Structure formats: C-alpha cells, structure tokens
Amino acid sequence: MALAQAKLARAALARAHGWDESGIDGFCPIFTFRTMGDRVQDRPLAELGGKGLFAKEIEDALLQDEADIAVHSMKDLPAVQPRGLLLVCVLEREDPRDVFLGRGGQKFSELGKGARLGTSSVRRAAQALRARPDLDIVPLRGNVQTRMEKLAAGEADGIFLARAGLARLNLRPPDGEDLAVENWLPALCQGAIGLEIRDDDDKARALAAKIDHPESHLAVAAERGFLAALDGSCRTPVAGLARIQNKALVFRGEVLSLDGRDSWSALRELKLHDRIGAEILQSANVLGKDAAKEVRAAAGAHMPKF
C-alpha cells in the first residue's frame, strides 16, 4: 500500500512538472522503509504505542537528509510533527468510507448472533459494538490482501477495509458494503495522502505545492486539529470527517468508549469566502480543536483515557 501511494504521488509530480516518466526512477527514485507498524504483525497497533508506527522511520530519513519528500497515509501521521518537518501538500482525497466484507457476501446487518468480527482498529470495534453489542471482536492485522485471505480462511465472519485502500490497489470485492458516514464515521484523515518535507527545503516545497489539492488539505487540517486537541492515538476510538458542502467546510467528529456503549460528538461549520490559503487552513485547524473541546466537556469524567 505504501509503495502504491508513493507511486501515485510521484506520478502526480511528473504530470505537474512535465517529467518523462520513462526514466523517472533515475532522477526521482522511491526509497522504501520498513516501519515498526510493518515489522510487528502479531499484536494490535494500540499495544505498540499508537500513531507514528508507520511514520517515524520515514520522518527520520527526512531529518537525516536521506530523502527529500515523505509520502504518508494521513490517518497514520501523528497530529504533532517533529521539529523541522512540514506537511506541505495533500493529494485529492479518495473515498473516505469504510467497507464491510462478510463471508459469503453477508451484509453487516445479516451477521449471526455472536459472529466474529475481525479488526484491530479500536474505532471500528467500538462502532461495530455500538450497533451490535453481541459481536465477538477478534484481532486481525495484516495488509489488505492478507486480511481478505484470513476472512476467506474462516478466521473471521466479517472484516472492515478502507475504500481508499481498495481503490489504490485496484481491488473491487463484489460483495463489499460501503458504510454510510452518517452512522460510520471514518478514521480521521482516512483516504488522504500527504507529502512531508524539511521546512527549510524550498525546492521540495515548490515541487510539492503544485500538486496540493486545497479542498482535501482543508479537510485534513480540520480533522488533524480535532486529533491534536484530543491527543488521540490508535488506542482511542476517535472518528471524524470534514467535507465541503454549500461553500462551507462541515466537520463532525466523535469519540466512543471502547465497548461502544457511549459516544460523544460535535459538529462545526466554517463558511468559505476566499480561496483556500494558509489563513483558512489555520481556521480549519482551530475549528477541529474547538470541536474536540466540546466533546471533552460533554464526556466529562467518562472520557476515555488517551
């Protein structure tokens, strides 16, 4: 998946700058790094320390001048970046929804009582238990293909996948059920790819700026603000989505208890009058943080520990 995303970013750079893609490996090579999140597959991400597991080694390569541009799945990037690094660009966002795959083509609502739901995402587990408290949550790690193989092998009766990941791998499961965001808010920044650079690298900044998608960058700014104010991690059932509707940025975020019995949400709207620039991006980030304050106040002592 990471390699597919890096190739998407490089292809976008090539189109924007008129590069000849036939020899692109020679002047714009892709370096791959095996991160902690890739190496450890036998434990849930929440037990390994949360967000940053798929980013640290890549960010270290930037800081050590081993790479000039880092390509990240934005849902895996911590809200607070290391000193000296800058998120300079967000590509046009893919469909952020989750997809449910059931054995034999079952829909989520058709799962039998006590069915085994395979996921290592505390968010997905909490949302599933909110809808179906009887389900048995079983840990399931691995890339998209591995999880689909585990489903087929009977290790679970159903699994969740990100629609964006399936699209980037050109996978189209015929029985996939798209889950409506009204009831199944996705992970913050799900479906978004971001480019990170050293903050003093003007050349890389100029290259990446040409492929920035302002609307997607704006949505990511709001969602990362929500995450930052909550100090959320992979240990925390946090969800949210920002979308542009009727010339306004509309954001809804929520936090759930691990068992899904309780949830707290907030809705915010930011009117858009001008082109999307640094000032509006900052306003979106503040909007997300303000929504997080409302959630914290509503949850009070019941707020999950972060």
Amino acid letter, 261:
R
* Buried residues in 110-132 as b, exposed as e (16+ CB within 10 A): ebeeebbbbbbbbbbbbbbbbeb
Closest CA to 251 of 235, 267, 265, 239: 267
pLDDT tens across 216-253, in order?
999 999 999 999 999 755 578 999 999 999 999 999 99
What 3-state DSSP class applies to 170? coil
Q: Indicate whether 48 pLDDT > 80.
A: no
Q: To 10 degrees, what angle do helices 214-230 and 278-299 make? A: 30
How many Å apart are CA 34 and CA 55, to the nearest integer?
10
End-to-end CA distance of the chain: 28
Strand order in the sheet with 85-90: 70-73, 193-198, 85-90
What 3-state DSSP class applies to 121? coil
Report the run of H or E that residue 160 belongs to, with start and end.
strand 158-162
Tokens 């960010």, located at residue: 59
Query: Residue 2: pLDDT band by 50, 70, 90 thresholds?
Result: confident
How many Å apart are CA 130 and CA 211, to the nearest integer?
39
Instruction: Give the dihedral sign, CA 84/64/202/26.
Output: negative
Q: What is the pLDDT of residue 303?
A: 84
Percent of the chain with pLDDT over 90: 80
Q: Which positions are annotated as active-site residues?
A: 76
Q: For the residues 97-116, what does the mean pLDDT come to?
A: 97
Q: Indicate whether 50 pLDDT > 80.
A: no
Tokens 């714009």, located at residue: 28
Q: What is the pLDDT of residue 232?
A: 59
Of how many residues is the chain composed?
306
How many Å apart are CA 229 and CA 225, to the nearest integer?
6
- pTM (2 d.p.): 0.91
How many Å apart are CA 94 and CA 73, to the nearest integer?
11
Q: What is the pLDDT of residue 79?
A: 87
Q: Which string of DSSP letters, residue by residue, matches 37-73?
A: HHH--SS-HHHHTSTTTTTHHHHHHHHTTS-S-EEEE
Structural domains in the chain, CATH included, are 1-93+191-212 (3.40.190.10), 98-178 (3.40.190.10), 214-296 (3.30.160.40)
Closest CA to 235 of 43, 81, 100: 43
